Every structure is written in structure tokens, then in C-alpha cells.
Amino acid sequence: MEEFLTAQFWLAVGQIIMIDILLGGDNAVVIALACRKLPPQQRFKGIIWGTAGAIILRVVLIFFALQLLQIPFLKIIGALLLVWIGIKLLIPENDDHDNIAASDKLWAAIKTIIVADFVMSLDNVIAIAGAAQGAAAEHHLALVVFGLVISIPIIVWGSQLVIKLMDRFPVIITLGAMLLGWIAGTMLIADQFLTANVLQDSWLDRSGAHVEVVGAIKYGCGIAGALLVLIVGKVLAGRRPKALQD
């Protein structure tokens, strides 16, 4: 129980909420499009049940992701994917949701929401699993569920406000992309292979400041990841055709 009162736990919760806000905008659009042909009295049910199904599916995916991240080298792969996801946030794209089918049947709309969310969930799953690494291992899944539950109303009911804030204050997106880079850097250095062969069985064990040095390396990798996403993202965004940036 004490773990839930630590700053480390609440920092991870804040990261998960930020990730869901940044990467969940498309999910809110999918929910709206899938339910647009439902009768008004069923529309709210479609939104609630579709969102609930998508969240349950995501928790299951993140559970497996958390298990897989314990395998050597997979955190390194996940970190590289996170860096690319963060860079993509900084590159203007044309959103296209024309392939989202609307239905006037409640269960068909719910199925559309769940299937579409499954297809779009890779970035969220990797990012949230990475953010959860900041808490004690036995609380990873509880942390994920808690963060997702808090972020649901923000995504579903506050998506328009969030989108307007991001349009008005682009720095929010930039900071979010850098957060993904930070998580990527700290995830990479926590890979089982690196901790066993680089940070554990090395000169660090013979130094009197092992914990402090490892902590400095972790934060250094986080800063490096954040700066890498920022620099590469801005460079690639600057090379995009003018028409795509407007």
C-alpha cells in the first residue's frame, strides 16, 4: 500500500495519463465515427460499451507487453519503437478516418470501436508499458489500470478540448514527444541484458557509488532519448512539404 503513496508511483500515473491524451485523440475520433449512425438513445451506450471493450482489450495487451519486456533485448526494441512514435508526433500528417465504418446497430458499432482500437493500440501499449516500468514490478498492472481509468473521461468527453489546447499550445505535443523519448531512454538502459552484463557485472560493482552511478546513467539515457526525439522530429518536420504542415 505504501508504494501507492510514493512520488515514483504518481509520476508514472501522470506519464500514463499524458500518453493517453497524446495518443488517444484518434481513438476518440474512431468512437465518434463508429457511433454516428446509431439512434440518439443508443449512441451513449455505444460509446460506453465500445470504450469499455477497448480498454479491457488494451489492459490485456499491456499485461502481455509487461511480461514480454522482461525478456532480454525486448526493452531495447521497445525503446527504439517509442523513439519513432515520439518522432512521429512531431511530424505533421494528414489524418484519414474514412475507412471507419459506421453502423445503425449497437453491437456492430461496439465491434468497430474495439477492432479499430486494437489496430491502433500498438503505440499506446508500448508507451504505457514503458511508463509503468517506473513503479515497483508488483504494481505494474494496477498502475496501468489506474492510469487508463483516469484517462477514459479525458479521452472520451474531453477530447475536443484537448485537441483545441494542442492546436493553441503546440508545446504540449513537443513535451509529450520528449516524454516518450525519456521513457524510451530509461526503458533501454533497464533491459535485462544491459543490467546483467553492463550495469551489474562491471567496474560499477567495485565502486562505492554503484547506485548513484547507475541512477545517473538512467537519467542521462532519459535525457538523451528526449533530446533525440526532439532533434530528429524537428529536422524531419522541417523537411516535410509546406502543404502538409499547414
Provide mean pLDDT across the span 225-233. 94
- Chain center to CA of 154: 15
Residue in this structure with the C-alpha cell 484517462, named with its chain if needed: 151
Helices (DSSP H) in the chain: which residue ranges?
Answer: 7-23, 25-34, 40-68, 74-89, 106-120, 122-132, 140-156, 159-168, 171-189, 192-197, 203-206, 210-239, 242-245
Instruction: Look up the pTM and report it.
Output: 0.73
Asked whether the beta carbons of 30 and 101 are under 8 A apart, the reply is no
Helix axes 140-156, 122-132, angle to 10 degrees: 130
User: Among 89, 76, 51, 30, which Cα is nearest to 193's?
Assistant: 76
Residue 73's region, left for phi above 0, alpha for psi from -120 to 50, else beta, is left
77/66 Cα distance (integer angstroms): 13
pLDDT bracket for residue 204 (50, 70, 90): very low
> In this structure, what DSSP letter does residue 136 have?
-
Provide mean pLDDT across the span 12-35. 73
Neighbours of 34 (CB within 10 A): 27
Provide mean pLDDT across the span 25-33. 67
Where does residue 17 rank: exposed (0-12), middle (13-18), buried (19+ CB within 10 A)?
buried
Q: Burial letters for 99-109: b for 16+ Cβ neighbours within 10 Å, e otherwise?
A: ebeebeebebb
Residue, of 244 and 157, whose pLDDT is higher: 157
User: Among 89, 71, 79, 98, which Cα is nearest to 18's?
Assistant: 89
Coil, helix or strand at residue 93 = coil
Asked whether the beta carbons of 186 and 75 are under 8 A apart, the reply is no
- Does the pLDDT of residue 66 top 60, yes or no? yes
Q: What is the pLDDT of residues 153-172, one digit of tens each?
A: 766 665 556 667 777 888 88
- Does the pLDDT of residue 40 top 60, yes or no? yes
Neighbours of 226 (CB within 10 A): 22
Average pLDDT over the chain, rounded to whole? 75
Q: What is the pLDDT of residues 184-200, one digit of tens each?
A: 888 888 887 777 766 65
User: Among 114, 125, 120, which Cα is nearest to 19's?
Assistant: 125
Q: What is the pLDDT of residues 114-141, one digit of tens each?
A: 777 776 667 778 888 888 776 656 667 7
Residue, of 206 and 162, whose pLDDT is higher: 162
- Does the pLDDT of residue 147 top 60, yes or no? yes
Check residue 223 and give its pLDDT.
94
